[in-house]
Amino acid sequence: MASLSDCFATTASKQVEKEAIVFLRGGKVETRISYRELDVDSNRIANTFRDLGVEKGDRVILFLPKSLIFVVAYLAIQKIGAIAVPLDPGLKKPEMEYLIKNVGAKLVLSGTAQGEIIHELDPGLKNLVIQTQERYQNLRFFRSASKTITSVELEPDDPGLIIYTSGTTGKPKGAILTQNNLVHDAKNILKIWEINESDTICHALPLSHVHGLCFALHTALMAGSLIIMLDQFSPETVIDVLSKKDGEHVCTLFMAVPSMYAKMMRVLGEKILDFRHIRLWTSGSAPLLVKDFERMRNTFGKEPVEREGMSETGMNFSNPLNGKRKPGSIGLPLPDLKVRIVDPETHQDLKLGQTGEIWLKGPNVTPGYWRKPEETAMAFEQGWFRTGDLAKMDGEGYYYLTDRIKHIIISGGENVSPKEIEAVINQLPDVVESSVVGIPDEKWGERVVAAIVTRPGVSLEPDDIRTFCKRHLHDWKCPKKVVFLEELPKNTMGKVLKDEVKSVIESGEISKA
């Protein structure tokens, strides 16, 4: 079986001088790089990594803002058989402390601000600080390295990527994705969405998640497509890029999360633009409301293709490119994926239309979590991966997510662990206890809301909680709303009843907000 790097090399040998990536910073073109240049530069960086002692199986953390050097470094990691560990560049020091210990990295690539965090946490860890705000052409640290590289033998089960996902305990878990997982996932997406070298993809997603890294970047580079890569999502910039119908960079494909589409439609307002040249709009990472499905069809001229995936599995379901697309449905299983709807208590398969937990088995499924054997064992039952998601299937084989067994909140396409936020809030001396829940929200999908019980006689304000959280947590984890309750609803065993917490918040029966 070809490795991910083998697949990229095959494409590079065919495309050669074709542009691979056009990188935009602040909405303006900063760098253009061909498939040949991408191949040569990643060879040079791979040799640079080897000079720093990185070998097959070593972990390399990518703690960088979205940039072209991120992409080239990622390809270099794959070429030497090391394991890439992309992390959100907005993570704070307390979050990184745990991740560094769990990963056990040989090398960290960090941006300027991120490098300071790494140095404070572990001065002895090899930390290559890169000025990502500089133009890619001005970065010199790898230019003198050899452009030829000795290949490394990789097996299908060799890990190529670790993606950290929020865990029920509050501590992130590193989902291991093997070469076989990654290649199978990319080839599946190429097949079902018919992505090829004639496509031009507008890439406005983060590179630290499977959506932007695996579903968008892997597939585009494997297909030989052109990528118009934005340094960050801006609805105005995306609309400007996508609305161009003439010239060399006419986009045909856009992948996003529902909150991105919501912002774009808000900017467009009543304005009508011609997007007929775009053949495919995809939505995932969070549920797309039925009413937003209709709004997208009216705004962009085509029905979106809603799909579902996980850090642990890559993409699992998608509505068809050619065929019926059902609003509210995540679609049909991808090729080679086996699916069961199971009673989570009895582990018995349920009848058509009944709601149960999704269990998966296939070549896309992770072998487990990095350095977490107990969590890995709990995630599998007789070889089936337990997703923790509740769903049902209709008579035509389309699946619908109905709820989550786990209390993970999905806000703006990001997974948020309530327990992690609660642990931070509970550090405040005037807080007795807290419960963090997700409340349905048109903009974010789910809004992070914290319900807090304080010590008698003290006066805490919502801004006090938010300010404290922002010192310890990434901004998208911080509560959008804070409410204060006299007590948290609990069962007889003292367990907080989160559904009742949600009901209290939504009913407005609160002492202060």
Whether the Cβ atoms of residue 479 and residue 469 lie closer than 8 Å to each other = yes
Tokens, residue 13: 């040998």
Contacts of 463 (CB under 8 A, 6+ apart): none
- C-beta of residue 434 within 8 angstroms of C-beta of residue 425: yes
Dump pLDDT digits (tens) for 208-222.
999 999 999 999 999
Pair type for strands 253-256 and 305-310? unpaired
Give Cα 281 distance to the centre of its chain.
18
- CA distances (Å), origin 481, targets 239, 378, 489: 30, 33, 19
- Give the three-class secondary structure for 46: helix
pLDDT > 80? residue 232? yes
Rg (CA), the chain: 23
- In 266-376 the beta strands, taken as DSSP E runs, fall at 280-283, 305-310, 314-318, 332-333, 338-342, 356-361
pLDDT digit string, tens, across residues 107-131: 999 999 999 999 999 999 999 999 9
Residue 335 CB neighbours (<10 A): 13
pLDDT at 198 over 70: yes
What confidence score (pLDDT) does residue 416 get? 84
pTM of the model: 0.84
**What pLDDT, on the 0 to 100 scale, is given for residue 166?**
62
The b-or-e profile of 412-448 (16+ CB within 10 A means b, else e) is bbbbbbbbbbbbbbeebeebebbbbbbbebeebbbbb
Could you count the other beta carbons within 10 Å of the beta carbon of residue 2? 14
Residue 418 near residue 409, CB atoms below 8 Å: yes
pLDDT digits (tens, 9 = 90+) for 282-320: 999 877 878 789 989 999 999 999 999 999 999 999 999
Between 329 and 1, the higher pLDDT residue: 329
Distance CA 181, CA 368 (A): 12
In the predicted structure, residue 258 carries a pLDDT above the cut 90:
no
DSSP string across 366-421:
-S-BTT-HHHHHHHEETTEEEEEEEEEE-TTS-EEEEEESS--EEETTEEE-HHHH
Residue 252 has pLDDT above 80, yes or no: yes
pLDDT, one tens digit per residue, over 166-194 is: 654 568 899 999 999 999 999 999 999 99
Chain centre to alpha carbon of residue 275: 26
pLDDT (tens digit, 9 = 90+) per residue, 473-513? 999 899 999 999 998 887 543 567 888 898 898 887 655 55
Percentage helix, strand, coil for the chain under 3-state DSSP, each rounded to 5: 30, 25, 40
Does the domain spanning 409-507 belong to CATH 3.30.300.30?
A: yes
State the fold for domain 4-329.
Rossmann fold (3.40.50)
Which residue's entry shows tokens 């580079």? 221
pLDDT of residue 384: 98
Half-sphere exposure of 85 (CA within 13 A, CB side): 27
3-state secondary structure 415-433: EECHHHHHHHHCCCCCEEE
Q: What percent of the chain has pLDDT over 70?
A: 96
Indicate the residue type of 4. L
Residue 493 has a pLDDT of: 34
Q: Give me the phi and psi of 389, to 5 degrees please.
A: -100, 140
Structural domain boundaries of the chain?
4-329, 409-507
Check residue 478 and give its pLDDT: 93
pLDDT at 168: 42
What six digits make up the tokens of 344?
């989570």
Backbone φ and ψ of 7, nearest 5°: -65, -45
Whether 382 and 305 have beta carbons less than 8 Å apart is answered as: no
The helix (run of H) or strand (run of E) holding residue 253 is strand 253-256
Q: Which candidate, 125, 112, 39, places its Cα nearest to that of 79?
A: 39
Residue 248 identity: E
Which residues are within 8 A (CB) of 338 and not within 5 positions of it... i.e. 6 or more apart?
360, 361, 362
> So what's the pLDDT on residue 414?
84
Close Cβ partners of 22 (under 8 Å, ≥ 6 residues apart): 29, 31, 32, 226, 227, 228, 229, 249
Quick one: pLDDT at residue 170?
A: 62
What are the C-alpha distances in Å from 369 to residues 12, 60, 384? 32, 17, 15
What pLDDT, on the 0 to 100 scale, is given for residue 513?
55
pLDDT of the residue at 420: 84
pLDDT (mean) for 121-148: 96
Name, in order, each residue with C-beta under 8 angstroms of 285's C-beta and a sequence gap of 6 or more.
209, 211, 257, 309, 410, 413, 414
**Residue 351 neighbours by CB under 8 Å, 6+ apart:** none
Average pLDDT estimate for 456-480: 92
Phi-psi region of 103 (alpha: psi -120 to 50; beta: other; left: phi over 0): alpha
8 A C-beta contact, residue 40 and residue 147: yes
Mean pLDDT of the chain: 93
Give per-residue pLDDT as tens, 23-81.
999 999 999 999 999 999 999 999 999 999 999 999 999 999 999 999 999 999 999 99
β 445-454/481-484 pair status:
parallel
Reading the block at residue 105, the tokens are 């990295």
Q: How far apart are alpha carbons 237 and 162 in whole angstroms?
A: 31
Summarised one tens digit per residue, pLDDT across range 417-457 is 787 898 899 889 899 889 999 999 888 889 999 999 998 88
